[in-house]
């Protein structure tokens, strides 16, 4: 399977963000012909304003972002794992992933479980729970003959979620993200490699990069693909674009035979 990770610098302007996502997906398909494309977290909108987030949210199914993802999957005959977008459900907002198969059929939806309520080393405060409700379902889906697990950004710090995805048969785990610069420079790659080693899965992490919120917030970028041995096999840096890798499931079977952790679990 060939996969392309889209790295973006989303802002508050939803229309501009959707245009950026479409352009980068079109470019990745033209250049590398991937089977699957992964977008970053909140590819539709990044800001500090709760009111702006509510205005950018969509009731699913439907909405501009949901429709764009469906249409790109259908147009390019690819699987589109839509990073995450703002979902409105009554009075609640969710940080939600939508996935579409090559026919443009929605095959999975995941709401972010772990909400980022922290103060980073540079003193900036993040309170996702002030805006978003928490998801409660561990989600995998079948695409291209393989089981794929869904997670979003801060989820990566909770290995029990990744063990649950592995228990459901995940061979690939997705991590769309908008990791902060302060945490990303020390923790991003370490955490992703650890999750790949523990689960012996391919971990695909598409990220936001650069500043947003009028320069008040900075995301780390460095979208990457980690193989089941824990090696980084593809990596972007700190600008919008895309990176592509080929996943070798024969190699994954070899890793799982060498160190059969799935057979040794006692808890």
Report, as residue numbers or ranges, the catalytic residues.
41, 112, 153
For the CA atoms of 43, 152, 111, 199, the dihedral, rounded to the nearest 10 degrees, stands at: 150
Contact 105, 85 (CB under 8 A): no
Place of tokens 């205005």: 55
Distance of CA 64 to the CA centre of its chain: 19
Residue 93 and residue 74: Cα distance in Å, rounded? Answer: 27
Q: For residues 50 and 130, give the distance between their C-alpha atoms in angstroms, rounded to a whole number.
A: 9
Cβ 69 vs Cβ 62: under 8 Å: no
Tell me how far apart the alpha carbons of residues 40 and 83 are, in angstroms, rounded to a whole number.
Answer: 4
List Cα–Cα distances, 118 to 124, 128, 154, 157, in angstroms.
8, 9, 11, 13
Q: How far apart are CA 47 and CA 50, in angstroms?
A: 8
Find, among 249, 117, 101, 82, the residue nearest to 172 by Cα: 249
Cβ contact 206:234 at 8 Å: no
């Amino acid at each position: 399977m060939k996969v392309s990770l889209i790295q973006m610098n989303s802002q508050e302007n939803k229309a501009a963000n959707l245009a950026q996502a479409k352009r980068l997906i079109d470019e990745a398909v033209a250049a590398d012909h991937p089977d699957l494309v992964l977008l970053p977290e909140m590819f539709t909108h990044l800001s500090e304003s709760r009111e702006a987030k509510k205005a950018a949210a969509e009731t699913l199914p439907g909405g501009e972002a949901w429709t764009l993802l469906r249409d790109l999957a259908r147009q390019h005959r690819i699987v589109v794992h839509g990073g995450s977008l703002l979902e409105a459900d009554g009075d609640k907002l969710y940080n939600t992933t939508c996935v579409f198969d090559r026919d443009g059929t929605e095959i999975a939806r995941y709401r972010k479980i772990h909400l980022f309520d922290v103060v980073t080393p540079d003193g900036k405060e993040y309170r996702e729970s002030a805006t978003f409700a928490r998801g409660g379902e561990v989600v995998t889906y079948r695409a291209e003959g393989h089981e794929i697990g869904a997670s979003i950004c801060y989820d990566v710090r909770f290995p029990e979620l990744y063990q649950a995805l592995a228990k459901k048969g995940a061979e690939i785990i997705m991590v769309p993200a908008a990791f902060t610069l302060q945490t990303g420079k020390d923790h991003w790659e370490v955490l992703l490699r650890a999750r790949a080693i523990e689960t012996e899965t391919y971990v695909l992490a598409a990220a936001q990069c650069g500043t947003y919120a009028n320069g008040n917030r900075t995301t780390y970028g460095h979208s990457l693909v980690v193989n089941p041995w824990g090696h980084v096999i593809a990596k972007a840096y700190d600008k919008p674009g895309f990176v592509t890798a080929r996943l070798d499931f024969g190699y994954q079977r070899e890793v799982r035979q060498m160190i059969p952790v799935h057979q040794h679990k006692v808890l």
